[in-house]
Amino acid sequence: MPKIVAFACEHSAYEAAAAAAALGQKTGETMPMEATVPGENPGFQVGRVGGVEIVKVPCTGRVEVIDILKALEGGADGVIVLGCFEEACHYLTGNVRAKKRVGYVRRLIRDIGIEEDRIQFFHLAPDMDARFSRIIEEFSRQVENMGPGPATGITVTGIGTGAREQGLATGEQAQAARAR
Amino acid sequence: MIVAEQKPVAEILRMIDGYRRILVVGCGTCVTVCMAGGEKEAGILASLIRMAWAREGRLSPLIDVSEATVERQCEWEFLGDIAEKVAASDAVLSMGCGAGVQAMARMFEGKVVLPALNTKFIGMPERQGLWTELCAGCGDCVLDRTGGICPIARCSKSLLNGPCGGSQNGKCEVSKDIDCAWQLIFDRMKSLGRLEALGTVLPPKDWFKNRDGGPRKVVREDMLL
Ligand code: SF4
Ligand code: SF4
């Protein structure tokens, strides 16, 4: 089974996933909820339903472009963002934004030659455990057909990942620069 | 602020072709605000490059694509802190505006510094996700005579005594999506009760203050050390 990461809104899709897990519609596994995603968003909780990694988010509007890319880079073969139906977002328009953002990331990965369908957005309501299972099955099948994902395996070594460099250069460096 | 947008990824990939250790450098000022080259965007671009290269089977322990963001790329004072990372890279991909790229190119002698953005203009966000040009940096501001609306940057013909005959229903003849700057100026002067001022013909502009004699300089004697 391909490796799938699902960002799920806690007000809808996450409930659906939990219900699906409880009903055993997928594999019957219950979802352990202690783990956290390291790195970018220490606040996200992760669980599993079947082979799918479910990342619980307060709203899909909270999912950033970089979160999706990091999931792919980190080894996911496909990433889905599961939000409330339009008009049903707890925060009014978080799901609409998330959907647009997913469209943006799809274009980004298409530009570098990666199948855009590796990233998709779906709407769910909390009681839609059956729809959740169907989405996962269908998506897994699609992703499987695409072959392995774009995980890099490149270790980002010493020269730093994303930390904002602030403060002053040493006086010498600044002076040397000015002198040039 | 300076408004910029990212170059197409394909163009960036062509630019860095042949280098193995890339440092993507974001800038924490203008381009962060216009969402083109801040910390977030640097992270996104670095991730895309890594995946693109992985796709091409370029994986090797020698490959390194990482990112760092400085508060302001166009000031030496902020560049010192990334000196080591720059030294460890083959090429620096700047996500600052043209000034940022050039500041780094001067600071880091002997290092290839490449632009990841196209620097567009001086402007402001109209609303979230939309920026418009407001000032062309002409060097001799006339906003006092035009109700605070710039005819150089916002009139398609940079007319000083507009509108031209093409102004229709408030729109510019160049496109129905462009407001006629001179209509805006007229409306604004009217609301300011200064319409009669528009009767004064503006003299030709002193373009010597613009693109004459190479790069322009601003000097403040009292601030020089
Ligand atoms: S390099 Fe300077 S001018 Fe350019 S975006 Fe950064 S702060 Fe603004
Ligand atoms: S008149 Fe010149 S300086 Fe003033 S806003 Fe227009 S372009 Fe900028």
**Predicted TM-score (pTM) of this structure:** 0.84
Contacts of A64 (CB under 8 A, 6+ apart): A40, A41, A101, B40
Cβ–Cβ of A152/B69 closer than 8 Å? no
Residue A157 has pLDDT above 80, yes or no: no
Tell whether ipTM is more than 0.85. Answer: no
Res. B6: pLDDT tops 50 = yes
Contacts of B106 in chain A (CB under 8 A): 177, 180
The answer to whether B51 contacts A109, with C-beta atoms less than 8 Å apart, is yes
A36 Cβ neighbours under 8 A, 6+ residues apart: A42, A43, A44, A45, A46
CA B213 to chain centre: 22
CB atoms within 10 A of CB B135: 15
- Mutation choice for ligand 1 from B77, B82, B92, B97, CB with most ligand atoms inside 8 A: B97
Q: What is the pLDDT of residues B186-198, one digit of tens each?
A: 999 999 999 999 9
Cβ separation of A156 and B64 shorter than 8 Å? yes
- How many Cβ atoms sit within 10 Å of the Cβ of residue B205? 16
Q: Whose CA is nearest to atom 6 of ligand 2?
A: B150
What does pLDDT average to over chain B?
Answer: 94
pLDDT at position A26 is: 47
Which residue in A47, A25, A57, A28 sits closest to A134, CA to CA? A25
- Cβ contact A156–B42 (<8 Å): no
Q: Is the dihedral of CA A42, A2, A73, A60 positive or negative?
A: negative
CA–CA min distance A107, chain B (Å): 11
Ligand nearest to the CA of B117: 1
Q: Residue A33's pLDDT band (boundaries 50, 70, 90)?
A: very low
Question: What are the pLDDT digits (tens) for A84-143?
Answer: 999 999 899 999 999 999 999 999 999 999 999 999 999 999 999 899 989 999 999 999
In this prediction, residue A126 carries a pLDDT of 93
Please list every residue in chain A whose beta carbon sits closer than 8 Å to the beta carbon of residue B28.
164, 166
Confidence band of A45 (pLDDT split at 50, 70, 90):
low
B176-185 pLDDT tens trace: 999 999 999 9
Residues in A closer than 8 angstroms to B47, CB to CB, are 66, 69-70, 73
Predicted confidence at residue B213, as pLDDT, reads 74
A155 or B133, higher pLDDT: B133
